[in-house]
Structure formats: structure tokens, C-alpha cells
Chain A
Amino acid sequence: MQKIHSFGRTKPIVMAMTMAVAAIALTACGGSSSSKSSSEEKPNFTDVAKAFDCEPSSTQGKRVICIGSADDLSDANVQNSLTEALAMAETGDTFVLPQGRYNFKNTIEFNGAVDGVEVSNLTFRGAGMKKTIIDTNGASADGFLINDTNNLVFEDFGIYESNNNALKVKGSDGVIIRRLATVWETDFKSTNGAYGVYPVECKNILIEDSFVQGSADAGIYVGQSEDIVVRNNIAIKNVAGIEIENSKRADVYGNTAKGNTGGILIFDLPIGNGIYGAGVRVFDNEVIANNAPNFANKSAFAGGVHIVPPGTGVIVLSTSDVEIYNNIIKDHQTTSIAVSSYILADENVVATPKEDVGDGVNSYGDIHPLATTFMDGWSPLVRNINIHDNTISVADGIDNPEGELISEIIAGYKTLHSLYPDIANGKVTVPHILYDGVGELLANTPHPDPVFGGASIMQALVLGINQIATSVATLPDTEMFTPIDVSLFGAYPPEGGVCQSKNGIDNRTLFAASVFETQPTQNNFKDGEPLSKLEQLQSDFSFAWSIMDDPSGVMSCASGYTGSPATVTFGDNKYGCLEDDLENDSCAL
């Protein structure tokens, strides 16, 4: 095997990140301390009388299929009736679900074709979100699972108590979910299914006027999709209220996220399937008291929802091109808005590439745990985040930060406050707007080893991976070597990181701060490792005044990123701020 060009034997960059950024214990997470239970009244959905009220129609292309019948509304008959209707479905069918609560024992599944003939444009409609309830607890997996079917509408019914996802739609272009409820009626149980509303690998998704409660993952989750509008929904008591993940061109507006563990999540995760996202606007939402305990299933996936610290309003993880504006973000016990590179979730991002892999390479992951996702086009960094015009408040007595993910950050801030009680006289422990900053720092700091010609520390990392990867044989039928795009890891242009402006806090001081500075200084590296502001405090108390603040203007910009409105196209109709909501005040913001 040819000799690999030496990296000059400088000390490998091992991110110990002791004080400020937690080494992630991937199994333990979430606080067990008391949650603020939301004062939301618990809607009573259990007593709904069964009733049949449907006129069938056999007009071709627009059939109306009545599910169940006037003289047989037994659970089994309704389930079978729907399953059979799907088995004989034709393009344009509407399936009308009767009023009542029905226990289904099998997933309702449809795969886009009947006898090989493509079927699209299907509508599933109940008598109302509180009137037609499909209880899918008897089905061993998802409640509804629809794949590869274009132009779907789900409206006016509820899906309850699913063992996995309530409504999963995969691979479909054109999905409208409106006035749909997905509910788990017991609060905070980790066996409460997975996602409530779950379109994945879809395009043109509209989710509106819906209600999601109790999911042990995300209530509304849109993943690996494009052209998305999520508006006017209510998400309560889920781990994540609303989550946009690895998706492009999404508008999230007019929603209420209340009493979840985390309110609204914008994540871009290293899933490894080449689908990554950017371009999300979050505006005019009410994000209130999301202080529920984290009851998600603990998984070893570093970006899983179990990492969400309870008491977080909006979280941006690793996603770029995000505009968060004109939201009311209120009463969060940990932090109101958190923005972080993926380094916070998984320190493997900055693991040293293994040089001496020899012939034992089984995948490029042997060189570096995230090599294949870097090659896939994923970046762990956040760029172009603009946070403005939000109304943030934390009532007295709420502040009580927790969360395994940021436990060391929290500990650092608590120490700071005990040493300098006057600093945060706004009475929050952790800044209202918290930015990790370390990703930007490593992208802005030239690697000290001249062999890299001034490339940043992050660039040096991926250059190293590229170099090792070129020297090993291409792996059989698994991954082709695609060189990592080094330009994704370069220095941030001015205002290319996080911007925050005009975020009001009602007669108090708004604290917006980064954990790490974003430009290298004489003092913020030691032995090749970056030091957070909190760590530097230990040797320089004069630092203290700046820790809850942003003295070097990390988050000051003359103008920040402005996103473009998202549009959903569904047949002849279009939805979104440029279309049916053109006159909507939210869209004028």
C-alpha cells in the first residue's frame, strides 16, 4: 500500500471539549426533573357515537367510496371496508370514513398501484377531527402507511394510539394533511409511537389546521422532502412539536407548539442517503413553555430526538439557510433559541481521520465515522441563520435549565452566575439565544500546520479524509469514493453565520451569546483544542462580562439571510405565502 503523505506529526486535533461542550453520553439523555405541565385542557375524544352518513358516487375519476355501511359499523367491517376499497382503488377515489371511534388491527397500507396500474389522487376524509377516530393500537406497526402515491389528501379525522407512526407517507408528490389529529392519550410515555404526521421523501407537502399530541418523537415531522408548508397547526406534549429534517424550501408559520420537550426543530442530520436540506423559514408561531421531560426512546443515533434538552423553544441543528422571525417564544426553562453545528451532538465530527487503515477498510467510515456523509454532501456546520423580530420572554420562576446534551454548558453558566450574580440580571442561566460557535470557529481558523496551506481546521480534516480515501481501493459495490467538497468547510464570509437582531424581551435584557468565539484569538486555543469562553474564564476573569453577551458581534449583522417563500403545488392548486396566503399578514412580515 502506498505511503500516505504525512500530516507533519502535529498533535491530532482531539476535541476533548471538556467544560463547555458535552462529550455526549449517547444513552442517557433528558432530564427527569419535573416538567411544567401545560395548562392545556385535555380534549375528550373518547365518546364519539358511530354514525354513517355518506352518499356513494361511481362517477369515473371522482368516485366516492363509503367506508362501512349503515347497518354495519363494527370496527372490523370499517377496517376491512377501507382495506378492500384500497385494494380496488382507482385514481381520483375519495374514501369517506364514518363518524365514530374504530379499532383497527392492521396497518392501512397502499403502495401506489393496483395490479400494476398506477393509482393517484386519493382522498381520505372523515366526519371531523374529533368525530372520526381510527384507533390503530391493534396494528403492530404504523397506523396508515402510504407509499409512492401522488396527490394524497388526508382530512377531518384522527389517528390514535399508533404503535409506530400514525400517518406515514413515503415517496409521494403532492400530500395535503389538513384538520387531522394524531394523538396518544397518555402523556409522556416512551412507547407512544414514533411520529404523528410523517411525510418522508416527498414533495409538495401542505400540513395545516392539524393537531398532534403525545408523540414520543415528533408530532409533525417532515423529512427528506421539498417544497413544504406547515401552517396553523397545534402541537402539544410531543417530544418535538414540529420538526423539519433534511428538507428544502419549507415555511413553518402560524403554528402553536406548546408543552413539548422542544418546540420547533430544524435539523439536518447525517443520515447517509444523500438527501440533505436547507432553506427553512419559521415565522409567526407561538412557541410556548416547551418544558416537557424528554420521553423519547433512547437511541445511539447522535442526532435523534432524544437529545433535545427539555425547555427549548426553537433548535437549529446543523442546518443552513434558516430564517426565524416574528415568533412568540415564551417561558422556556432552558433556552429559547438554540443554534448549533453538529459538533455539539456528535464529537465524532472532528475525530482524527485514521491514517493506517491498510487493507482492513470495510467502508470509508473506517477512516472517519462521518466520512461517507461528508462525501454525500452533508456539512455539520450552520451558515446563514437569521433570527430577528422575535418576542422572547421567560417568566419569573421558569428558568431551570436541563438537558444531557448541554449539561456541561449549563454547568458552566451556573458557575459563572454564582461567581458573578449581576451578570445575568435578566435572571436566565443560559442565554436566550444560544449559539455553539465552535463549528464556525474551526472553519475560520487556519490549521497551524503549513502543509495545509492555510486551509481551515475543518478543511484540513476533510482534506485528510480525502487523501486517505484515495489511497485505498474502491470498496466493492458499496460506496464510490466521492471527494468531499472542501469548500463547504471553509471560512465564513461576514454575516455568514448566525445573525440576531430586534429580538424583543419586554423590559429585560436579551442575552444572546455564543459558547465559543468564532474567530481565533491568542487565547482561545490550547494544545490544538478550541476553548470556549467559559473555559477561558478560568484564567481570565475579565472575560466574565462577555460570556452572556456578544461583544465581538458574532451575531451582529447589517442584514442577515432572508429566505424565499415556499410554495406547494398540488394539481391545479398552489399553497403558501405567494399563493393562497398572499393576503395573510403572517406572510407580509
Chain B
Amino acid sequence: MKHINALVLPLTVLLLSACGGSSDKEKTDTAFTSKTYITEQEELTCTDSSQPVNWEKVLEAKATKLSEYNLFSNTCDPSQTDSAQALPYDLSVMLFTDYASKYRFVFIPEGETATFVATEALEFPTGTVITKTFAMPADTAKRGLQEEKLIETRLLIKRDTGWIARNYVWNQSGTEAFRSLSGGPVTVKNLKHGVDKLSFTYSVPSEQQCLTCHQFKEKGADKPEFRPLGPKARFLNSDYDYGHGPKNQLTKWFEEGMLTGLPEISTVQKATPFNDDMLPSAYNGTQELLTATAKSWLDINCGHCHRHEGQASNTAFRADFNIPWDGNEAWHGACQVPISGAAAGSSKIIVPGNADTSLLYNRMHSTDSGLSMPSLGRAIIHVEGSALIKTWINSLSRPTCE
């Protein structure tokens, strides 16, 4: 595989011009088109890679092309790996990212392990790389890389000095991903979702933007620490089919020698699962289940910022999973007045019994600039998540706001 000296690389490969700048092919067999903004100087093909992970290069984190790290078995398929040091994983409830599919792997150097942490992200050894590939389907009912267009592969790499982030954006042909410092827009047209056809501009973040969400700042600390968000015990405490039927992910990690310190599984935190295919009846059977599902959704979508240690520490809305709803309603924002981001019709963050006047619901159910939340990471509305939160807020009978 050609190694391209970064200094020689034409600027157009790294720079991501606004949509419409480069030539692109439209898929005529489906109604879905997406344009990435990478033009490249050479024809690239899909190559099988039987080489081991290049751990040294990973730590250096200087590669222009994702394939240089040898993470995946084929340069066109970041959803498969041959590495014995890797495990795929899923989260029992996931951050909404415009209905893109996400393929996640954790790679841990041989002989090392992650360490169990009860309520926060697991601790990982130096050399770990976590990969998360975003791919957009043409129809959300038909997933799998064959049906999808690769957008970006985000890496979190653990150095001695802490975590760093790298983002690799895929070219039009899906044959290679190139390092992107500035991210940029990706046009998505006619994404089929149920009976709807969604067209929007998906946003690949810049590398600096990673820290906006991926930060953990202990109270009194000078600066925030970079942390993974997904691999927490509560989101990994669920089943994944590794090819031989469903198996608990934490148990699997332990059995593969990738995780130490795992206590008895029944004592481990468990987020209440939620996915877009669930009918409301799957989560609204009891008040307890409904609240637990809502809390889990809020935690993974909002809790990284809306907690004491996050970017939005000074706001009155808090979504930390570890603080139960019952008894801490005001702490979450029930009947609390927001300091900013108010919109006509929403006077309080959570108005129990009335989602339509709750700022929480209105901001997650909006695409207005300056108002919509989260402020990074989505362009369209999460219909199913909004329905969950609406149902939940409407189900609440206390406290009563004056």
C-alpha cells in the first residue's frame, strides 16, 4: 500500500470544501446520495490486510490514511477486524447521530487489560484505540455496511499522557479514510425512515470539537480531562452476539482477558435499553420502566455535558445517570427556570405533566439554530427519542410547578 508523505499530500485531500465542490457520483439505484468533500489523486482499491495492528503508528497518531494503522481486515470495511486484540461492542442505549449506523471496536494491546470502573468510563491502558465508524444507510430499516455509505471513523487513542482524538473521513468510493482536522458538512438526501424521507446536512466535527463533549472536569480542576463516553459499565452490561449467540459484553471482555476487576455481574450498573425499533409499549408499561428508560436516554445523549463535571455544568438541567429521578426532581430541572436558551412557550426546563411547555423537550425537538440541543452531533430530530421523553414528561405527576 502506498505510503504518502504527509507534507507532499495535496491540500485538497485534507481540506474539506463545502458540499458541492467536488465531483461525485450519484447512486442512481437508490434515492440516497451523499457527498463527501474529499477528492483524491489516485485510484484506491479495497485491500485485504493480514498484517497485525501497527500499535506504534497508532500511538504516534500521525497517519494520513486510516489503513496505515492496520486496524481492519479490509481497507474498505471498518466493521470487521482480524485482530485478536479487538472486540466489537455496542451500547445498550446510544447517542443519536442522525440515524447513522455506528460500528465500534476496542483494541487493547496484548497483555494489557482495561480496568472495571463502577459508574464512569472504564480505564484503559496506554496503547488502547477505540474506533467508531459512522455510516449512513439509504433506509434505516436496512442496515449493514453493504447498504450504507461510510462517512467517518473516529479514533480515541490512549497515550501515557491521556486520550487523544483523531478523525478519518471516508472518500467517495469508500476505499480509504483520510485524516481530517476540520471536519465539515456531508449532504444527505432522501434518507428513508419509516414513511419519511429526510434530507439534511450531517456534520463531521473538527478535532478540537471532540473535547467539547468528551470532557470530564472535576470540580476545582484547572482544565478538563479527555474521556471516552460510551464504554461505561452500564452501557456494556448488555448482550452482543459474537457469532455464537448473545453474550454479556462485560463477561466477554473479561473472558478474553481484556477486562479486570469485574465484580459479580448482578451488582454492575445497568442502563435500561432503548432503541429506535421499540414500540412505546416496550418502555411505558410501568412508571418505573418509563423513567428508567428516559434516564438512560438522557444520560447518553445529554449527560456528558449536563452534569457537574461536563461542559454545561453551570446550567440548571442535569442528566447524570447516577442521580435518581425520585427525590431529585428539581436537581434534574423540574420546575427550574433556565438561565439561557429560553424559547417562547417554554418557561421551565421540565414541567411535569406537560412536555410541550418543557424547555428540555422543546430544545431536543427543534432544529432551530441557537436553540436545538445537543448543540453538537445532530442535524435532525430524534423522533423516537423525542417520543420517549415526551411520554415520560407527560407521565410525571410531581412536582407541581407554580
Instruction: Using CB atoms and an 8 Å cutoff, list the residues of chain A in contact with chain B.
Output: 26-27, 74-77, 79-81, 83-84, 86-88, 105-107, 109-113, 115-118, 139-141, 147-148, 163-164, 171, 191, 193-194, 201, 271-273, 297-302, 304, 362-363, 365-366, 475-478
Contact = CB atoms under 8 A, between A and B. Distances in A.
A300 B337 contact: yes
Interface residues of B, number: 55
A390 to B, nearest CB: 31
Contacts of B16: 76, 80
Contacts of B17: 74, 76-77, 80
B223 A300 contact: no
Contacts of A147: 212, 311
B257 interface: no
Interface stretch (B72-80, B158-166, B296-304): B158-166
Contacts of B322: 477
A548 to B, nearest CB: 35
Contacts of A271: 314, 339
A163 B212 CA distance: 18
A478 B330 CA distance: 10
Contact of B211 (A106, A111, A139): A111
Given A26-B347, A76-B21, A366-B330, A301 B206 contact: no
B145 interface: no
Interface of B: 14-18, 21, 61, 159, 161-164, 181-185, 203, 206-209, 211-212, 215, 223-224, 226, 311, 314, 316, 322-323, 327-331, 334, 336-340, 342-344, 347-348, 369-370, 372, 375-376, 399
Contacts of B311: 147
A113 B211 CA distance: 9
B338 A300 contact: yes
A491 B137 CA distance: 69
Contacts of A75: 18
Nearest to A195: B340
B342 A83 contact: no
Nearest to B20: A76
A449 B316 CA distance: 36
B205 to A, nearest CB: 8
B399 to A, nearest CB: 6
A363 B331 contact: yes
Contact of B340 (A111, A171, A194): A194
B183 A301 contact: no
6 contacts: A76-B18, A87-B206, A297-B343, A298-B344, A362-B328, A476-B323
A111 B327 contact: no
A109 B208 contact: yes
A273 B340 CA distance: 14
B161 to A, nearest CB: 5
Given A84-B182, A115-B61, A147-B311, 6 more contacts: A80-B15, A86-B208, A106-B182, A111-B212, A304-B339, A477-B328
B314 A148 contact: no
A201 B329 CA distance: 27
A74 B209 CA distance: 23
A116 B159 contact: yes
A164 B372 CA distance: 11
A301 B182 contact: no
B206 A106 contact: yes
Contact of B183 (A83, A117, A304): A83
A163 B369 contact: yes
Contacts, number: 145
Contact of A299 (B207, B223, B338): B338
Nearest to A366: B330
B375 A141 contact: yes
Contacts of B223: 112-113, 118, 148, 171
B contact face: mostly helix, strand, loop, or mixed: loop
Contacts of A298: 342, 344
Nearest to A118: B223
A-B complex: 5 closest residue pairs judged by Cβ atoms: A299-B342, A83-B182, A87-B181, A163-B369, A111-B211
Contacts of A27: 347
A481 to B, nearest CB: 15
Given A113-B211, A116-B226, A273-B314, A140 B337 contact: no
Nearest to B215: A111
A105 B206 contact: no
B323 A164 contact: no
B370 A87 contact: no
Contact of B182 (A26, A79, A193): A79
A202 to B, nearest CB: 13
Contact of B369 (A86, A112, A141, A148): A141
Contacts of B184: 76, 80, 106
A63 to B, nearest CB: 16
A115 B62 CA distance: 11
A148 B215 CA distance: 12
B338 A148 contact: no
Contacts of B399: 362
Given A80-B184, A83-B183, A477 B215 contact: no
A475 B159 CA distance: 39
Contacts of B376: 141
B164 A115 contact: yes
A478 B347 CA distance: 23
Contacts of B208: 83, 86-87, 109-111
Nearest to B16: A80
Nearest to A479: B331
Given A76-B18, A79-B182, A300 B212 contact: no
A109 B347 contact: no
B182 A365 contact: no
Nearest to B323: A477
A187 to B, nearest CB: 18
Contacts of A272: 316
A363 B335 CA distance: 11
Contacts of A300: 337-338, 342, 347-348
Given A77-B15, A109-B208, A140 B372 contact: yes
B206 A109 contact: yes
Contact of B327 (A79, A297, A362): A362
Contacts of B337: 299-302
Nearest to A365: B330
A139 B215 CA distance: 22
A373 B99 CA distance: 41
A376 to B, nearest CB: 12
A12 B401 CA distance: 21
Contacts of A273: 314
Contacts of B343: 297
Given A141-B375, A300-B337, A478 B183 contact: no
A116 B347 contact: no
Contacts of A105: 18, 185
Contacts of B334: 362
Contact of B323 (A111, A201, A478): A478
Contacts of A26: 347
Contacts of A362: 327-331, 334, 399
Contact of A87 (B182, B328, B339): B182
Nearest to B18: A76
Contacts of A171: 223
A86 B209 CA distance: 11
A106 B369 CA distance: 11
Given A116-B163, A362-B328, A140 B375 contact: yes
Nearest to B209: A109
B314 A83 contact: no
Contacts of A112: 223
Given A75-B18, A148-B223, A273-B314, A301 B338 contact: yes
Contacts of A80: 15-17, 182, 184
Contacts of A117: 161
Contact of B328 (A113, A191, A476): A476
